[in-house]
Amino acid sequence: MISIKLRPVGKKKQISYRVVILPKKSKLVGKYIDDLGWYNPHTNKFLINAEKAKQWLANGAQPTDTVHNLLVDAKIIEGKKIPLHKKSKQQKEKPAETEPAPSA
């Protein structure tokens, strides 16, 4: 299965990403199938080739959650954004505010 992923490039504290086409279970280093554009999280700027992205999506490529949100921002695909930070079970199961025990 083919996936659209973010491939990290740049220095440690100045990281930016290339939007690339890779096999789903491959590592991010090494060769990639196609390059669609770039994303800089520090400035929240990105550039994605819309024609190539639509072509790969039509051929069955699945974007990761972050790439899906970028494609929605670029209006390449329609739909809602996917929430990336899900609440943990502890926060969901946390009981409502409990009353303090009466002091004697």
In the chain, where are the structural domains located? 2-83
Q: What is the CATH number of domain 2-83?
A: 3.30.1320.10
Q: Is it the case that residue 97 has pLDDT exceeding 80?
A: no
Q: What is the pLDDT of residue 101?
A: 67
Q: What is the pLDDT of residue 85?
A: 82
Beta bridge partners of 75: none
Q: What is the pLDDT of residue 30?
A: 87
Q: How confident is the model at residue 62 (pLDDT cuts 50, 70, 90)?
A: very high
Q: What is the mean pLDDT of the chain?
A: 88
Distance of CA 38 to the CA centre of its chain: 13
Record the pTM: 0.77
Q: Is it the case that residue 92 has pLDDT exceeding 90?
A: no
The set of residues, in sequence order, having a beta carbon less than 8 Å from that of 53 and lying 6+ positions away, is 4, 36, 71, 76
Beta bridge partners of 63: 4
Residue 32's Cβ-side half-sphere holds a number of Cα atoms within 13 Å equal to: 19
Say what the alpha-carbon torsion angle 90, 92, 97, 100 is, to the nearest 10 degrees: -20
